[in-house]
């Protein structure tokens, strides 16, 4: 039976600072990939991992989410792809509810097949790569487009080689994950996520599992992707990366958004004392 809950907005969405688009033109309102999060809460028992989060992410922009460990950053990312169910609130991508359908004033959880179909529009890059160890690099990339019947095998292979060129690893097409460095595995994971041609890309601390000397090669790929027009949400502690590519920076503490705005606003002129304290420790 589908899970349902009341579609109830207790008060208007919290106002946040205007986003300043410093590195690319603002996307047309008709462009795909607009994310609207309204009054989102998520509980794990008595622990409130997300507390009334409201956020708008414009299509084609890069949003970087910062905050101390345990602040709810990864949980928020997982709810955008319905890897975590929410207790309250809604997420919409281009007007479609993520994980739910609306009937009257209630939301009913979608069937698993419909959820999987929704996920084809959202690429997800995990901390620990999550490549299939028994498959070659090429097979890792072509698996999803073929399973979801978006491409035939010949088309999927052609697309895979294009993506391998994008991440600079064409020569590794027939290698297995165990033969790759951590940085190479994460670059392959990015290529795999792009294989479905998603309108939104989610990155959950994509460099946190890497040795320091491998971080740069992964960030370079993500920076290149930032110019492509796909909507990106990146959870990271890489402040320099945020300065270079973020259109919007969001700072979270204890499951709540305490500050958001342009990279210049949040990183150079933070208003909230928790933001200032965090930046003083990491810079």
Domain residue extents for the chain: 131-197
Tokens of 103: 């009937």
- In the prediction, which pLDDT does 267 show? 97
* Strand order through the sheet with 88-93: 47-57, 35-44, 88-93, 96-97
Residues of the chain with pLDDT under 50: 1, 8-25
Pairing mode, strands 96-97 and 88-93: antiparallel
pLDDT tens figures, 173-211:
999 999 999 999 999 999 999 999 999 999 999 999 999
- In the prediction, which pLDDT does 25 show? 45
Residue 24 contacts residue 58 (beta carbons within 8 Å): no
User: How far, in Å, CA of 269 to CA of 165, rounded?
Assistant: 39
Residue 233 contacts residue 65 (beta carbons within 8 Å): yes
- In the prediction, which pLDDT does 58 show? 97
User: How far, in Å, CA of 203 to CA of 157, rounded?
Assistant: 24
- In the prediction, which pLDDT does 5 show? 58
With b for 16 or more beta-carbon neighbours within 10 A and e for fewer, the 80-106 pattern comes to bbbbbebebbbbebbeebbbbeeeeee
Which helix (H) or strand (E) segment holds residue 26: the answer is: none
Output the pTM of the full model: 0.88
- In the prediction, which pLDDT does 198 show? 96
């Amino acid at each position: 039976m589908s899970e349902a809950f009341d579609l109830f907005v207790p008060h208007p969405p919290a106002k946040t600072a205007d986003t300043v688009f410093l590195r690319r033109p603002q996307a047309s309102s008709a462009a795909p990939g607009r994310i609207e999060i309204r009054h989102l809460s998520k509980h794990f028992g008595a622990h409130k991992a997300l507390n009334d989060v409201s956020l708008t992410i414009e299509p084609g922009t890069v949003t970087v989410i910062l905050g101390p460990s345990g602040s709810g950053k990864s949980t928020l990312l997982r709810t955008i792809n319905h890897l975590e169910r929410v207790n309250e609130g809604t997420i919409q991508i281009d007007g479609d509810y993520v994980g739910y359908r609306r009937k009257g004033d209630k939301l009913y959880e979608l069937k698993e097949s419909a959820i999987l179909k929704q996920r084809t529009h959202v690429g997800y890059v995990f901390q620990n790569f999550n490549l299939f160890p028994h498959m070659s690099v090429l097979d890792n990339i072509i698996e999803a487009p073929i399973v979801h019947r978006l491409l035939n095998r010949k088309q999927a292979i052609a697309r895979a080689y294009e993506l391998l060129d994008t991440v600079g690893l064409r020569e590794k097409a027939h290698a297995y994950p165990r033969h790759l460095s951590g940085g190479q595995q994460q670059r392959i994971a990015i290529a795999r996520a792009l294989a479905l041609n998603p309108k939104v890309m989610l990155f959950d601390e994509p460099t946190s599992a890497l040795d320091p000397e491998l971080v740069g090669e992964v960030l370079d790929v993500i920076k290149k992707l930032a110019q492509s027009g796909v909507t990106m949400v990146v959870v990271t502690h890489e402040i320099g990366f945020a300065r270079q590519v973020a259109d919007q920076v969001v700072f979270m503490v204890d499951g709540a958004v305490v500050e958001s705005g342009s990279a210049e606003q949040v990183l150079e002129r933070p208003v909230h004392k928790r933001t200032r304290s965090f930046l003083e420790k990491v810079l």
